[in-house]
Structure 1
Amino acid sequence: MKLAIFGATGATGRHLVELALQAGHDVRALTRSPQALPLRDPRLHVIAGSLDDEAALHSALSGADAVISVLGTRRGDASPVCTDGMRSILPAMQAAGVRRLVALSAYGASETHDATLFIRFVRKVIAAKMRDKDGMEALVRASGTDWTLVRPPALTNGKPGGAWRTGAALRPGWSARLARADLAAFMLREAERGDYVGAAPVVSI
């Protein structure tokens, strides 16, 4: 497959790029900081640019079979990175004729906003970040793409376990965690297989 990956220099994105290359996929990664992705592989094409750069977006998406977005804010940043990013990505996908989208969201977004007392507490603590996920999900659902929204619980930098539970109706508890490497593996598998097109699966250990 030819994959366009957004958010490739983040903690999850780096795992995703490595796994995609190991699986034999061609990867195009759009980033404002190419030096933050030091991998070298003939199937990796790092494109310098931002999400408001139409030429860079076209270069990333041209000929792509699927888009995987692992965009997210960095600690202390309350800007709506996911929503703003998707406002650029979705029209560019349409222009390039790319339909498949796998996007990182979070458990507690949209209709799961009051799933548990713990989630209601989390949404108060990181309100701006969760509103960003809500906004992104609304855009994706209305886009007409073959979308999947992936909703993990709290993420860790731990070693991958290689096993997870997943499902649109799964309700992870307050102690649920998922290694970023496992999240990346699930998102890549979903781009390859399409088990949850038009759904928002939770993935957790």
Structure 2
Amino acid sequence: MGAGFGATGGVGQEIVRQALTAGHQVTAIVRDPARLTVTGAGLDVFRADLAGAEALRPAVTGWDAVSAGLGARSRKHAGDATRLTRTVLDAMEAEGVRRLPAISAAPIGPVPEGDAALDRVARGIVSRIYKDVYADLRAMEAAIRVAVGGTPPKARSPGRADVAHAMLAMVGDATTVKQGVGLASRG
């Protein structure tokens, strides 16, 4: 099936767990293998610091897709998503891997039609607070593709399991290629 970057994060571990449960082979690319709590048949753990594409090539070779849950753990790490994603993209390009479902954030997408004024105000406040992190995610998205579409109206943040499920489903869905896919839980 694929390789996963950011596999020790909340969504990343859920992607690995669901892929293994579905019977897929998975390579989890991690900086610290001790932080990966998921185990199972079909799992290969590849230790890497994401410093260079050449070191990542063996981890992505032969896979259908690579998933990325890369990003800043805090505001002081703004810039990580773009830097790390470019390294991953370079490794993928060198190995001919073409699919990269990646996690971003709703506030950087277009405001959905029908959002209430209060939702727009809240979105603006959050966007100002996390300005550097969202700028990083915008640059990461630009490195991957042009975002098309947006966030569902009246959206609530989906759970990690739902995000992981959606990312796995996108691997085999040609309609999601080069598309921004908004995901939200029902309110």
Normalised TM-score (structure 1): 0.79
Query: After the TM superposition, which segments of 4 or more aligned residues of structure 1 sit over 4 Å from their partners?
Result: none
Match of 2:162 among 170, 176, 182: 182
Structure 1 counterpart of 2:77, one-letter code: A
Q: 1:130 aligns with which of 115, 123, 134?
A: 134
CA pair 56-44 structure 1, distance change in 2 beyond 3 A: farther
Instruction: Report the CA distance between 1:95 and its aligned residue.
Output: 0.3
Give the CA deviation at 1:41: 2.1
Query: Any conservation in 2 of the 1:9–1:31 contact (CA below 8 Å)?
Result: yes
Q: CA deviation at 1:87?
A: 1.4
Asked if 1:10 is matched to 2:22, the reply is: no
Go from structure 1 to structure 2 and tell me whether the alpha carbon gap of 1:180 and 1:172 turns closer, same or farther (over 3 Å shift).
farther
Q: Whole-Å Cα distance in 1 between the matches of residues 74 and 99 of structure 2?
A: 29
Q: Deviations along 1:82-133, whole A, 9 cap, x unmatched?
A: 1011110111111001011111111122555xx8332221110111110111
- Count matched residues: 179
Letter in 2 for 1:168: G
Distance (Å, rounded) in 1 between the aligned partners of 2:173 and 2:161? 18
Per the alignment, in what secondary structure is the counterpart of residue 68 of structure 1? Answer: strand
SS in 2 for 1:204: coil
Contact 1:110 1:137 in 2 (8 A): no
Output the CA distance in 1 between the equivalents of 2:130 and 2:7: 23
Residue number in structure 2 paired with 1:27: 26
Residues 1:106 and 2:132 are matched in the alignment:
no
* Aligned-partner residue type, residue 172 of structure 1: P
Indicate the percent of aligned positions where both proteins have the same amino acid: 34
Query: C-alpha separation between the residues in 1 aligned to 2:142 and 2:22?
Result: 31
2:107 aligns to what SS in structure 1? coil
Structure 2 unaligned segments of length 5 or more: list them. Answer: none
> TM-score if structure 2 supplies the norm length?
0.86
Secondary structure in 1 matching 2:44: strand
Find the partner of 1:172 among 137, 150, 153. 153
2:181 counterpart residue number: 201
Structure 1 unmatched runs, 5+: 143-148, 150-166
Partner secondary structure for residue 142 of structure 2: helix
RMSD: 2.3
In the alignment, structure 1 residue 141 sits paired with structure 2 residue 145 = yes
Partner of 1:162: none
